[in-house]
Structure 1
Amino acid sequence: MASIEGLLHMESEVLSKGKKKRQIVSYREYYCYKIQIRQKEPNKTLHSGRLFQQYIVDQYIKLEIIEVLQGIIDILRYGERDASNIGKG
């Protein structure tokens, strides 16, 4: 399993290769943007205590479910019958 730092480094390399402006962002990128600390903009989400904790948990679960569903979509797309081959490229 890759470390968070490794995944963030890989993502930054991919993003730096394509200098053109993208029209679509991933769910993860969006939620990272939402919880960023900004100097001149107060972020009410960050200062909402337990509600913020619940928000983070909900978004994490949402991202995990999307990842699982993507695996199911891959099965259907490629017509794979043997589950042991899924996720192996």
Structure 2
Amino acid sequence: MGIGGTADLAVELAKGALLRPLTEESPDPALRELEAELHEALNRTGVGPMGLGGRTTVLGVRIGTAYCHTASLPVAVNLQCWAARRATACVHPDGRWEVVR
């Protein structure tokens, strides 16, 4: 999730937050508390994996912030499957590819 800045910066912050490891907590106590609160609330929805129901809807919530004028507080949310954001591949010039991590 990205909060603040300009609309395009909020999107960039959301993407950066998405790529933070699930084990990495925010250094800001207020953000850490908000992340935990949202995490619990989202899992209470019962949406579950792929919208099929269940107790685990999200594995984590991470928030990036920037300063902005309160009259225009952009918020961006970026969603992605955990597996899709934890793989790294190398595509070589000859077309070969390999999973790096």
State the TM-score, normalizing by the size of structure 1: 0.27
Larger Rg: 1
Structure with the larger helix share: 1
State the TM-score, normalizing by the size of structure 2: 0.25
Which one scores higher on RCO, CA 8 angstroms, separation ≥ 6? 2
